[in-house]
Amino acid sequence: MSNVIGIGAAPKRKEDQRFLTGRGNYVSDIKIPGMTAGVFVRSPHGHAVLRGIDKTAALALPGVIAILTGEDVAADGLGTLPCGWGISNAQGVPMKEPPFPVLAQGKVRFVGDMVALVIAETPEQANAAADLLDIDYEVLPAVVGVLDAVAPGAPQLFDDIPNNICCDWELGDKAAVEAAFRKAAHIAKLSLVNNRLIGNPMEPRAAVADYNPGTGQHALWTTSQFPHVVRTLMSGLVLKVPEHKVRVVAPDVGGGFGVKQFHYGEEAALAWAAKRVMRPVKWVASRSEGYLSDRHGRDHVTEAELALDETGKFLAFRVKTLANMGGYLSTFGPNIPTNLYAPLLGGVYTTPAIYCNVKVVFTNTVPVDAYRGAGRPEATFVLERMVDVAAAEMGIDRVEIRRRNMIPKEAYPYQTPVLVQYDSGDPMGCLDGALAAADVAGFGARKAESARRGKFRGLGYSTYVEACGLAPSRFAGRLGARGGLYESATVRVHPGGQVTVLIGTHNHGQGHETTFAQIVSEKLGVAFDNVDIVFGDTDRVQFGMGTYGSRSLVVGGAALSKAADKVIVKGKKIAAHLLETSEQDIHFEAGKFSVAGTDRVKTFEEIAGAAYVPHNYPLEVLEPGLEEQAYYDPVNFTYPGGCHICEVEIDPETGVVQLLNYTAVDDVGTVINPMIVEGQLHGGIVQGVGQALFENAVYDDGSGQLLSGSLMDYCMPRADHMPMMNIATHSTLCTHTPMGVKGCGEVGTIGSPAAVINAVVDALSHLGVTHVDMPATPNRIWRLLQNASLPIAAE
C-alpha cells in the first residue's frame, strides 16, 4: 500500500502543519459566549495568617461578578487538592498530609498561594477589583530552605507537623551498608545541592470552565498533560460531583515538562466558580504568575558516601537527602524525591548495598513536584558526581572506575539492591561508543591548546540509567500510588479503511501524532496520512493516565500496539469468511489478508468495508464494525540509559563556562522516529545543561519572596549556549514492551547535569577543586578560583 510510513522512518511531524500555520487550538484560543474573566489573587507573603478579606470596595467596581475566597470554598463543602501518592516511613507511619485548600483558608504558606478568585466581565475589570481587595495578613517569618526548615526554632508551617517534616523515608538495607562501610578500603564523601528549578513550557497555564445547568455538565478546558486524571481527581475528591458529569479537555498544549501534570487548584476553583456564577470563566496565567504557582522541581540538599575496596569496586552507597516539598503536597510531590530517586541510586553499577534516607520537608515555597526527569536526574547527579570524587581520591581514571563497576551486558536482567530490576542494557557499549564519538583520545591535545590561550578545558562523563515508562500499577501501588498507571488506546477503523486512534496519553510537543501514526501505519499497513491520533478530551477518549515519566510510547504505544493486534485478529476472522477458509489460514502482512500459499487476497480496506457493510459477513459469530480497544499495564519499568560526555572550556578571568562539545550515546530501545528521538534528546540535554549552568530558583529567606521571579532573573539556556550536539543511539531492546521500546523523553535531562558538572570540576581539578554546585555560574566559578588562590592570569 502506498505511503506506509512505519517504524524507523523519520517523516516530518503531522502536527506541525497546524502549529506552524497558526491553526493550533490552545486553551487561550477558546471563546464561549458569555465568557467572563477570572483573576486569582495570590499571597504576596511567604507565610502569613489570613485574618480577613474585605470585598466591599472591589465588588463595587463596574463589571465585577463575584469574588470567591476560601470561606466560600469551605461553605460549599469542596474537598482539598488530593495528593496522588502516600508514602510512609520505615515503621509504616504514613506521611503527614496537611489539607491543601483550593483557596487558602486561615493561613497562606507561599508567595503565590491563592487567596481569592475575582470574576468580572473583562480581565481589566477583574484585575482592577483584585487590586482593591482588602486582605488583612498577619505576616509570619517564612522559611524557604530545607536545612533551615528542619532546624530548631524554624517557623512551623503546620501546627501539627513538627519540624516541618512530612515524612522521614528510607529505602535499602541499612545494616548491610554499614557493614560494608566498616570493611571499606576507602570512603569517599560528597555534599551537594540539587538546585531548585522552574519549568518553562512555552505556553503558560490556562483554563476555561463552563457549566450547563440543563445537563448538569461541567466542562473544563485546561493546559494539562493528563485530562482524565484531572477529571477523576477533581470530580470525585474536590468538586464532589459524579465523574460522568465532568468533561475535561486538554486541547493543544504548548509544552509541559511536568509543570502541567498536576491537578491544580485553579482548575477546581474555575470549575466550581463557573457553576456559582452560571457563566463560563477563563483564566490565563502570565509568565510571572506561573513562576509563583507552577510546581517547581528538584531542590535537594544531599550528603553521600561511597565505600570502595582497594581496587575501586563499589561496596556500598549511602545517601541522605533533604527534599523540599514547598508549602503543600502537590499531586505527585512526595513520590518524586523518594520512589523516583532512591531506586535509581544503583545506576549502571553492581554496588551490592545501598541505603537512602530522605527527609521530605515543608517550606514556604511553591509546592515542588515532578519536572522532566523527576527524581532520576537528582539520583544520577549524586551518583555520577560521587563516582568522579571517588576516582579522584583513589587516583583511578574516571572511565576505568566506571568500567570496573559496570553491570556487564550478559548480567541482564539485573536485580539491584533498591527494588528495581533492569531488564536489558549495555552500559559498556554506550560508554565505548561515546568515547569514540567524543574523540576522548584527542582531548589532551585540545586541553593543551586551551591552556595556550589561558583557558581551562575539562571533560565530564555521565554513565547513567533511568526508570521510564511509568508504571507497573501493582508495583506502584506497593510504593504508595493511589491510582493505576496503565494506558489505553482505541483503534477505530472507518468504513473506508482510514484509522482514528483515541489514546489516553497527551501530546504537547512530543510528536505523538506522528510516532503513533507510524506504529499504526506499520502494523496495519494503512497509509500514514490515513491515520489520525486523537487525545486530550475525556468525552472522546475512553480513559488514560496522560503523558509524563517517558510513558507515552512505552505504555500508551503498547496499548496502541495491542489494540492494533486486536484489529488484525478480527480482520482475519472477516477475511477467513470472505475468502472461505479458516482463520488459521489467513496471513496478514503489509495491509493484506491472504490465504497462505495462494494468491487470494483481501485488502485492509476491503475488510473494513465488509465490517461496516456486513452483507456477506459472519453476523452469527462476529459483531459488525472494526474498532478495538486495549488497556496495557506494564510489567516493569523500562530502563533507558547511556553515556554522555561533555567538554567545556572555562575562562578563568570571568568564570564563564563554555560548552564546546556534547556527545550522547543512549540506549532507548527501539526507535520509532529517529528525528523525534533526536529532538527529544536535544531538548532534554539542553534542559539538563540549563540546570547545570544557568537555572536557579532563588527565594529570599525570611520573607519568602521569589527573587528569580521572571525570565529577567531566571536564566534559561539558549541556542547560543549550545554547541552542535553529537547524538547517537546504542540500543538494546526492552524485553517486556511490545515493540522493545524504552522511552526517550527524559534521558537527556537525566544524563546531562552530571556530565556538565563533572567536566567543570575536571577543568578546575588542577586547582584542587573537587565539587561545584549547580548552577555553575560565572560568579560561582570565579569565587572558587578566588578561594583556590589562583593568580588570575593578567595578560
Partner 1 sequence: MKSFAYHQPSQVPEAARLLGALEDSKIVAGGMTLIPTLKQRLAAPPALIDLSKLPGLSGIKDEGPTITIGAMTRHADVARSAMLAERLPALATLASLIGDPAVRNRGTIGGSVANNDPSADYPAAVLGLGATVVTNIRDIPADQYFVGLFETALQPGEIITAIRFPVPLKAGYAKFKAPASRYALVGVFVAQFTDGVRVAVTGAGPGVFRVPPMEQALAQHFDPSAIAAIKIDTEGLTSDIHAEADYRAHLVTVMAKRAVDAALS
Q: Name the site residues for partner 1 (rule: CB under 8 A).
A: 124, 127-128, 131, 286, 288, 653-655, 694, 696, 698, 707-708, 711-716, 777-779, 782-783, 794-795
Q: What cell numbers appear for 597 in the block?
A: 500459499
Closest approach of partner 1 to the CB of residue 286, in Å: 8
Closest approach of partner 1 to the CB of residue 678, in Å: 27
Q: Which residue, 415 or 654, has its beta carbon nearer to partner 1?
A: 654
CA atoms within 13 A on the CB side of 375: 25
Q: Which residue, 421 or 786, has its beta carbon nearer to partner 1?
A: 786
**At residue 518, what is the residue type?**
Q
Closest approach of partner 1 to the CB of residue 693, in Å: 9
Sheet holding 601-603, edge to edge: 586-589, 592-595, 601-603
Q: Which residue, 286 or 421, has its beta carbon nearer to partner 1?
A: 286
Q: What is the distance between the alpha carbons of residues 430 and 403, in angstroms, rounded to a whole number?
A: 11
Closest approach of partner 1 to the CB of residue 551, in Å: 32
**Burial grade of 26 (CB within 10 A; 0-12, 13-18, 19 or more):** middle
Q: Which residue, 297 or 557, has its beta carbon nearer to partner 1?
A: 297
Closest approach of partner 1 to the CB of residue 154, in Å: 23
Closest approach of partner 1 to the CB of residue 463, in Å: 29
Closest approach of partner 1 to the CB of residue 716, in Å: 7
Q: What cell numbers appear for 533 in the block?
A: 491520533
Closest approach of partner 1 to the CB of residue 44, in Å: 13
Closest approach of partner 1 to the CB of residue 311, in Å: 43
Question: For the chain, how big is the Rg over CA atoms in Å?
Answer: 28
Q: Which residue, 139 or 698, has its beta carbon nearer to partner 1?
A: 698
Q: Which residue, 214 or 791, has its beta carbon nearer to partner 1?
A: 791
- Strand ranges for 363-420 from DSSP E: 414-415
* CA-closest candidate to residue 432, choices 440, 444, 424: 440
Task: Write down how long the chain is.
Answer: 795
Q: Which residue, 418 or 784, has its beta carbon nearer to partner 1?
A: 784
Q: What is the distance between the alpha carbons of residues 211 and 219, in angstroms, rounded to a whole number?
A: 6
* DSSP annotation of 175: H
* CA-closest candidate to residue 643, choices 418, 476, 399, 461: 461
Is the distance from CB of 500 to CB of 494 less than 8 angstroms? yes
Q: What is the distance between the alpha carbons of residues 199 and 260, in angstroms, rounded to a whole number?
A: 10
Closest approach of partner 1 to the CB of residue 795, in Å: 6
Q: Which residue, 202 or 712, has its beta carbon nearer to partner 1?
A: 712
**At residue 390, what is the residue type?**
A
Closest approach of partner 1 to the CB of residue 489, in Å: 42
Q: What is the DSSP annotation of 316-373?
A: EEEEEEEEEEETS--SSGGGTTTTTTGGGTTTTB---EEEEEEEEEE-SS--B---TT
Q: Which residue, 134 or 713, has its beta carbon nearer to partner 1?
A: 713
- Strand ranges for 567-639 from DSSP E: 586-589, 592-595, 601-603, 627-632
DSSP bridge partners of 354: 317
Q: What is the distance between the alpha carbons of residues 528 and 11, in angstroms, rounded to a whole number?
A: 9
CA atoms within 13 A on the CB side of 225: 24
Q: Which residue, 724 or 794, has its beta carbon nearer to partner 1?
A: 794
Is the distance from CB of 321 to CB of 300 less than 8 angstroms? yes
The SS3 of residue 387 is helix
Q: Which residue, 288 or 500, has its beta carbon nearer to partner 1?
A: 288
Residues whose CB falls within 8 Å of the CB of residue 296, separated by 6 or more in sequence, listed in order: 196, 197, 198, 199, 326, 365, 366, 367, 368, 369, 371, 697
Closest approach of partner 1 to the CB of residue 705, in Å: 11
Q: Which residue, 392 or 698, has its beta carbon nearer to partner 1?
A: 698
**Helices 747-764 + 778-787 axis angle, to 10:** 30
Closest approach of partner 1 to the CB of residue 653, in Å: 5
Closest approach of partner 1 to the CB of residue 298, in Å: 17
- Strand ranges for 215-296 from DSSP E: 217-222, 246-249, 281-284
* CA-closest candidate to residue 535, choices 503, 557, 499, 512: 503
Q: Which residue, 708 or 770, has its beta carbon nearer to partner 1?
A: 708
